[in-house]
Amino acid sequence: MPLVPLSPLIAFGIVVQQAQKTPPIQPSTQDVQLTKPVTLPPPPGKSVVPARPITAEEAAAIALYNQPSLVQVQAGVLAAHGAEVSARSLLGPNLVLSSTYFNQSTLKGAAGNSATAGHIPGYQSSLTLDQLLFDFNRTRDLAEQAQDLYKAAGNSLSVAQAEVVVEVKQAFYNFVQNQRLVEVEQADVKSRQDQLGLTQARLNVGTGEPADVVTAKTSLDDAMQSLSLAQSAALSSRVALALAMGVDPRTPIQANESSEPEDFGSDLNALVDQALKDRPEVHQVQAALDAAGLGVDMARVANAPSLGLSLGLGAHGDPNAFATQTGSLSLTLTWTLGDAGYAAGKLEEASAAKLQVQALLIQTQQQVVSDVAQAYVALKSAEQRLAIAQAEVANATEAVRLAQGRYQAQLATFVDVTTAQAALIAAQSNQVIDLVAVQQARSQMARAIGRAPVAVPPQP
């Protein structure tokens, strides 16, 4: 019986059937297990940081109470206050009590004198009241200068506190950013695992390629590597935050959802005016300028006469210390008529110091304007980038959905899926970074316009 040739359709069916019976060729790959994140043991003892998640404001408040750098500035404020008290005391009366026991010995009499050696014991006491009456306001200017320097020191503390607050908030939002990037990477690992399962399932039924499985495993390995790096960065930023807060860097910190006030308006000139009025740096230099002006005034009358009043009560005797009592009243006029140019040199020195502070005030005001302008640009730019990033995430999410659907329908390659997934991760990372950038820019704007920090300690 002659052989009848098979039709092409039947031949194709036989080939497919035989192919289905043939086990798929599994690629030779090495699996990588997801590692546990690195942790730090907490320090011994009770922590000032609550065990619950804290906000950016609470982190800043903790720093204001615990940052060692502020203690140094506070010590300077205390020293300036002590100098003011000392200078102002020169305006008031000075009361001095003294008491002396003496034993006078005669060692040798004068020539031709019949006095013999002997001892004369006795007691002597005095109470003296001194009061400056007039010195062309030199002492009064000195007290007011000390007061201005105390004001300058107080404003320097405000500057230091503002710097600590903005530093803590920058570190806080960096920590928040890195935590959110960990979540993005964790979601990427989950997606890569699902994609690996999809490629493996297609390979098992004979419709996939071994190369797709290899690509999926490689992508998963990259995602796990990125996750490990993100976890390490989050831990490092937590350590940096603790250091900025002035607590033990090993302290566990949990960040709560936080947002900065956004009521800045859009009028740059109004923001600049507010900054020039409220920034403690301007107040600090202005107080220093006032002090320098008083220094010039004092130098001008350095050799002017001064008039003082002194009242005294005295007593002496032996054995009765009050056997003899005395009283005194004196007016003292002091006038330096010549000093070989000392006062002229001091006046020139004081005038130069005032000129320097005047230039510093202009420089400080210009820096304040620059700070506000830069903070304004950073804030507006961050807000624009955030709007773009949000649209980017929406588009990238849709691209991943379409790529996976086309791959399942065998209308696209697996490279299309991995490319879309990589674009989605980049978009999500950008969104996280831009979200945090907006909060950081707002905290910088608050610092730039001189908004006073809040120092409310968090509750446990």
How many C-beta atoms lie closer than 10 Å to residue 53's C-beta?
Answer: 12
| Per-residue pLDDT of the chain in tens (460 residues, 90 and over written 9) | 444 444 444 444 444 454 455 667 777 666 767 778 888 999 998 999 999 999 999 999 999 999 999 999 999 999 999 999 999 999 999 999 999 887 777 766 655 555 555 666 788 889 999 999 999 999 999 999 999 999 999 999 999 999 999 999 999 999 999 999 999 999 999 999 999 998 888 888 888 888 888 998 999 999 999 999 999 999 999 999 999 999 999 999 999 988 898 888 889 999 999 999 999 999 999 999 999 999 999 999 999 999 999 999 988 887 787 888 888 999 999 998 988 999 999 999 999 999 999 999 999 999 999 999 999 999 999 999 999 999 999 999 999 999 999 988 888 888 999 999 999 999 999 999 999 999 999 999 999 999 877 655 555 4
Q: Are 281 and 155 in contact (CB under 8 A)?
A: yes
Q: Which of 184, 73, 235, 228 is nearest to 421 (CA)?
A: 184
Torsional sign, CA 384, 386, 389, 390: negative
Q: Delimit the domains of the chain by residue range.
A: 63-94+136-305+342-448
Measure the CA–CA gap between 379 and 75, rounded to whole angstroms: 36
Length of the chain: 460
Q: Which of 204, 281, 232, 230 is nearest to 432 (CA)?
A: 230
Write out the two tokens for 95.
């009361």
Write out the two tokens for 66.
């615990």
Cα 113 to Cα 105, 106, 108, 295, 439, distances in angstroms? 16, 12, 9, 59, 97
Write out the two tokens for 44.
């011994």
pLDDT tens for 252-297 read 999 998 889 888 888 999 999 999 999 999 999 999 999 999 999 9
Q: Which helix (H) or strand (E) holds 96?
A: strand 94-106
Report field, pTM of the whole predicted structure over 0.75: yes
Measure the CA–CA gap between 244 and 249, rounded to whole angstroms: 9
Q: Are 450 and 280 in contact (CB under 8 A)?
A: yes
Domain 63-94+136-305+342-448 matching CATH 2.40.160.10: the answer reads no
Cα 86 to Cα 82, 96, 132, distances in angstroms? 6, 16, 15
Q: Which of 455, 448, 437, 451 is nearest to 170 (CA)?
A: 437
Phi, psi of 334 (to 5 degrees): -120, 130
CA angle, residues 22, 26, 32, in degrees to nearest 5: 160
Collapse the DSSP code of 286 into the 3-class scheme (helix H, G, I; strand E, B; otherwise coil) and give the result: helix
Cα 167 to Cα 60, 160, 224, 246, 315, distances in angstroms? 9, 10, 32, 11, 65
Match 């961050």 to its residue by tokens: 382
Cα 449 to Cα 96, 287, 381, 454, distances in angstroms? 51, 19, 18, 15
Write out the two tokens for 279.
């920034």
Q: Are 169 and 59 in contact (CB under 8 A)?
A: yes
How many C-beta atoms lie closer than 10 Å to residue 440's C-beta?
Answer: 24
Instruction: Return the DSSP state at 250.
Output: T
How many C-beta atoms lie closer than 10 Å to residue 43's C-beta?
Answer: 14
